[in-house]
Amino acid sequence: MFSNTLTNIMFVIKGIAMYLNEITILYVEDELETQEVIKEILNRVCKEVFIASDGVEGLEVYKDKEPDIVLSDIVMPNMNGIEMCQKIKEINPNQLIGLFTAYNEPEFKAQASELKIDSYIMKPFDDKQFFSALNYMAMAFHTDLNISKEL
């Protein structure tokens, strides 16, 4: 699934690094191979990357680290990504969150919409879709940050 991913996306990384290089991100994924590959990709473009393996751990890391962006799988043990996102939104209703998942069920999309999830990224990994969504969230973060500084 990820055989040539890192070499194929380097040109994309250069174009968006200016938005992501000051961003901290929490990535929550229970599938270890996917977690390792995405962690490596995120480490190349983000200021700091925090990793969790399920929703319970993700929520704890979120509370401790307060990342700029949360990126999560949906179906995980202990607490799924939707539940974790709901708890995060209770803490910070403006938190930027993306879901990175293989599940395209209308129920998940409806729940994500209700929670005002910022991006719904489908697996398998597609570099253009993945980086477009991350870039969008990073620009949204920088825009909100700049507006806050002006006030």
Q: pLDDT-derived band of residue 1, with 50, 70 and 90 as boundaries?
A: very low
Q: Would the pLDDT of 11 be above 60?
A: no
| DSSP code, position 54 | S
Query: How far is CA 105 from each of CA 14, 20, 38, 98, rounded to the nearest angstrom?
Result: 33, 30, 23, 16
Give residue 125's pLDDT.
79
Q: pLDDT-derived band of residue 147, with 50, 70 and 90 as boundaries?
A: very low
CATH of 5-150, one of 3.40.50.920, 1.10.3720.10, 3.40.50.2300, 3.90.1150.10: 3.40.50.2300
**Which is nearest to 68 in space by CA: 99, 47, 54, 87?**
47
Give residue 145's pLDDT.
53
Q: Would the pLDDT of 73 be above 60?
A: yes
Mean local confidence (pLDDT), 40-45: 92
Mean local confidence (pLDDT), 64-73: 96
Give residue 3's pLDDT.
46
Higher pLDDT, residue 20 or 48:
48
Q: pLDDT-derived band of residue 18, with 50, 70 and 90 as boundaries?
A: low
Q: What is the 3-state secondary structure (H, E, C) of 5-46?
A: HHHHCHHHHHHHHHHHCCCEEEEECCCHHHHHHHHHHHHHHC
Helix (H, G, I), strand (E, B) or coil at 123: coil
Give residue 9's pLDDT.
46
